């Protein structure tokens, strides 16, 4: 007997719709490897309809006073809490994530982030008005940019949707967002939540639209004439393609791309505490996090002790079923990602040593064992390129100068961490590490008030914080003659 697949649909101008041409793709639960739903494979007609809805809704949403937009966002946050179990179930099925961890680690920060941007809506800042030319007063207006085309990734589809729509809506923009083709379920549910709130409070539901589809759908969104801004969280390749497409009509671009976070551990660190925290930060979400602590550099005097402790921690880390409260992470997101992680392990150079893991787990779904690889050199493939899996590499460095050189010696520059009891050293490292975030004696915590974003091939623009809010605004100078 074949189980009927659930039908997911686009959300355009307050209505759930199939793709105009009826095409669909199957959506697979990565914990089982089996399809559980179909989603629209949206094409040009669907993108046109979503953009038209967002464009029509923009003037009224833009002209709302900030307190009214705040009211909408606060209601959305409340509704996220009220419907939390639905969101948890959708995201767990989307990604194979452990239910308990989605409940504890994703719902609370998402709600907090929406409420933060609800407050930011009322904190539009600019330089003080004043007279900079005799007889004239200048003022600054900060305005929304317009319709925003947003593409979210598959590693945190629900939370990344929040990172995109919350600042955009708070600033007065309207949104068309596309989830990854492998993880559309939670974003479609978010559309139902936001649409119901907009309806209840008497606003156009065209303010927020969701279209499902693949890379071609995303390309059509970015190249469409309506959006004033394109925002993507994804791979470096995808970011480059978006930037190139957006350049044709000079759209604003917001890019949060890959990462290869160095974790620099000095000999004076508390080894048991560092190992405990680093293993969690490296394996959480199956290492599918651009900031994951997966590239460890350890001072040579403690290298062997640290590797042994890290391998032991890996052997004690569990991956498994969504309802098992003892697991730290679930499967890799899709079959392609499993092949990518396996490929890195299969291509390891002869001088590398697998200290723990290194293999697929089970015969169902896309689970991969927590892995530690030592003996690596700076120019090895697995050091230079993002694995995006539960694989922690370890290199041995001699001194601070070499640690900085190797830490910075990759094309990514999103996040990093330093582990030491020496305050002066920590301050020097925070200055010289070329990354958008430097954690000291911790790795991976994020708060709504602080920015998240990188340099180099990790992209540009900030998520979260007032800086992330500013990215969704434009600045206008208004000058008035005092002569009347």
Is 93 known to be catalytic? no
3-class state of residue 215 by DSSP: helix
Position 124 scores a pLDDT of: 81
Exposure string of 277-289, with b = 16+ CB inside 10 Å and e = fewer, is bbbbbbbbbbbbb
Q: Out of 95, 148, 212, 290, which one is annotated catalytic?
A: 290
C-alpha to C-alpha distance for 141 and 61, rounded to whole angstroms: 17
Per-residue pLDDT averaged across 446-467, rounded? 96
| 209 and 165 Cβ atoms separated by less than 8 Å | no
Position 125 scores a pLDDT of: 77
Q: How confident is the model at residue 127 (pLDDT cuts 50, 70, 90)?
A: confident
Per-residue pLDDT averaged across 301-310, rounded? 98
Q: Does domain 6-257+458-477 have CATH number 3.40.605.10?
A: yes
Above pLDDT 90, what percent of the chain?
Answer: 97
Query: What tokens does 459 get?
Result: 């992209």
Q: What's the fold here for domain 262-447?
A: Aldehyde Dehydrogenase; Chain A, domain 2 (3.40.309)
Domain ranges (residues) in the chain: 6-257+458-477, 262-447
Residue 476, pLDDT > 90, answer yes
What pLDDT, in 10s, does the model give residues 435-452? 999 999 999 999 999 999
Query: What tokens does 292 get?
Result: 């994951």
What pLDDT, in 10s, does the model give residues 134-187? 999 999 999 999 999 999 999 999 999 999 999 999 999 999 999 999 999 999
Per-residue pLDDT averaged across 9-17, rounded? 98
The beta strands (E) that lie in 67-207 are given as 130-133, 136-144, 147-151, 174-178
Q: Out of 91, 93, 106, 256, which one is annotated catalytic?
A: 256
Longest pairwise C-alpha distance within the chain: 83
Is 290 known to be catalytic? yes
The pLDDT mean for the chain works out to: 96
Q: How confident is the model at residue 2 (pLDDT cuts 50, 70, 90)?
A: low
| 166 and 112 Cβ atoms separated by less than 8 Å | no
In DSSP terms, 394 is beta-bridged to: 296
What pLDDT, in 10s, does the model give residues 251-271? 999 999 999 999 999 999 999
Per-residue pLDDT averaged across 236-253, rounded? 93
| HSE value, Cβ hemisphere, 13 Å, CA-based, for 155 | 20
Position 1 scores a pLDDT of: 45
Of 105, 94, 101, 103, the residue nearest 32 (C-alpha): 94
| 373 and 282 Cβ atoms separated by less than 8 Å | no
| 387 and 341 Cβ atoms separated by less than 8 Å | yes
Check residue 346 and report its DSSP letter: H
| 8 and 17 Cβ atoms separated by less than 8 Å | no
Per-residue pLDDT averaged across 351-363, rounded? 97
Per-residue pLDDT averaged across 384-392, rounded? 98
Residue 404, pLDDT > 50, answer yes
Query: What tokens does 67 get?
Result: 């307190």
């Amino acid at each position: 007997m074949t189980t009927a697949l659930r039908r997911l649909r686009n959300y355009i101008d307050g209505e759930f719709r199939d793709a105009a041409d009826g095409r669909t793709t199957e959506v697979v639960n990565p914990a089982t490897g089996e399809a559980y739903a179909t989603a629209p494979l949206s094409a040009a007609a669907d993108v046109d309809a979503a953009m038209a809805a967002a464009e029509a809704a923009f003037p009224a949403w833009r002209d709302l006073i900030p307190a009214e937009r705040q009211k909408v966002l606060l209601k959305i946050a409340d509704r996220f809490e009220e419907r939390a179990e639905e969101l948890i179930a959708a995201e767990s099925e989307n990604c194979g994530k452990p239910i308990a961890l989605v409940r504890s680690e994703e719902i609370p920060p998402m709600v907090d982030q929406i409420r933060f941007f609800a407050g930011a809506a009322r904190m539009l800042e600019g330089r003080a008005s004043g007279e900079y030319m005799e007889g004239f007063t200048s003022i600054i207006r900060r305005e929304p940019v317009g319709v925003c085309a947003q593409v979210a990734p598959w590693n945190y589809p629900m939370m990344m949707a929040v990172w995109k729509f919350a600042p955009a809506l708070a600033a007065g923009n309207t949104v068309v967002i596309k989830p990854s083709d492998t993880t559309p379920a939670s974003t479609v549910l978010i559309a139902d939540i936001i649409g119901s709130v907009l309806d209840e409070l008497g606003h156009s539901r065209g303010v927020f639209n969701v279209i499902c589809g693949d890379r071609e759908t995303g390309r059509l969104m970015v190249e469409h004439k309506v959006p004033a801004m394109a925002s993507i969280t994804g791979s470096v390749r995808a970011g480059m393609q978006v930037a190139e497409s957006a350049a044709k009509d000079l759209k604003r671009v917001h890019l949060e791309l890959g990462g290869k976070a160095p974790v620099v551990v000095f000999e004076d660190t508390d080894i048991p505490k560092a190992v405990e925290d680093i293993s969690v930060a490296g394996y959480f979400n199956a290492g599918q996090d651009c900031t994951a602590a997966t590239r460890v550099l350890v001072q040579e005097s403690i290298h062997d002790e640290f590797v042994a402790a890290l391998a032991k921690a890996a052997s004690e880390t569990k991956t498994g079923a969504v309802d098992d409260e003892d697991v730290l992470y679930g499967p890799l997101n899709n079959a392609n990602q499993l092949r990518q992680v396996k490929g890195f392990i299969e291509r390891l150079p002869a001088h590398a040593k697998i200290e723990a893991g290194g293999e697929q787990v089970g015969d169902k779904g896309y689970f991969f064992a927590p892995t530690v690889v030592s003996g690596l050199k700076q120019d090895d493939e697995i050091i230079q390129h993002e694995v995006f899996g539960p694989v922690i590499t370890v290199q041995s460095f001699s001194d601070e100068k070499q640690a900085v050189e190797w830490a910075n010696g990759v094309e990514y520059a999103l996040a990093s961490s330093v582990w030491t009891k020496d305050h002066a050293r920590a301050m020097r490292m925070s200055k010289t590490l070329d990354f958008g975030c430097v954690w000291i004696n911790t790795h991976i915590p994020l708060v709504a008030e602080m920015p998240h974003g990188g340099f180099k091939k990790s992209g540009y623009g900030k998520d979260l914080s007032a800086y992330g809010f500013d990215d969704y605004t434009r600045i206008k100078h208004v000058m008035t003659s005092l002569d009347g």
